[in-house]
Amino acid sequence: MKMVYTNESSVLVNNAKNLLIHNGLSVSVANEHNSTGGHTLLANMELWVNRDSDYDKAMELLNTLKSSKNIKEWVCTECNEKNDASFEICWNCGSEAPRQP
Ligand SMILES: [Zn+2]
């Protein structure tokens, strides 16, 4: 087993767990009993893959989770086209993405 993710927020760990399970990985959660209502009392919750061979795939999936967490789909201020979060400039008119608040 290998640990792939840990966070003080049980919500985020559960999100990560669901993502991996959804992609067919077998995972375990550690320290879950320390969490009450989304707040961790003692140790951070930990997410583990049961098969070491799943480690690389898990990290890849979790990286997409992290990179998309803070950036949402955005709307161009110039032409009002919707752009995917991964675009740094508007696909339609080439304007720069507005800074996230
Ligand atoms: Zn635009």
Q: What is the pLDDT of residue 19?
A: 93
Query: Does one domain contain both 33 and 78?
Result: no
Query: Does one domain contain both 13 and 61?
Result: yes
- The protein residues having their C-beta less than 5 angstroms from ligand 1 (an ion) are 76, 78-79, 81, 90, 92-93, 95
Query: Does one domain contain both 12 and 52?
Result: yes
Query: Does one domain contain both 14 and 33?
Result: yes
Query: Does one domain contain both 50 and 77?
Result: no
Query: Does one domain contain both 8 and 47?
Result: yes
How far the first Cα of the chain sits from its last, in Å, is 39
Q: What is the pLDDT of residue 11?
A: 84
Q: What is the pLDDT of residue 40?
A: 45
Q: From the CA of 36, how far away is ligand 1's center (Å)?
A: 44
Task: For residue 43, give its domain range.
Answer: 2-69
Q: pLDDT for 21-76, tens place per residue?
A: 999 999 999 987 654 555 545 688 899 999 999 999 999 999 887 665 555 788 99
User: Is the model's pTM score more than 0.85?
Assistant: no
Instruction: State the total domains in the chain.
Output: 2
Query: Does one domain contain both 84 and 57?
Result: no
How far is Cα 2 from Cα 91, in angstroms, rounded to an integer? Answer: 40
Query: Does one domain contain both 60 and 78?
Result: no
Q: From the CA of 71, how far away is ligand 1's center (Å)?
A: 17
- Per-residue confidence band for 101, with pLDDT thresholds at 50, 70 and 90: low
Q: From the CA of 61, how far away is ligand 1's center (Å)?
A: 30
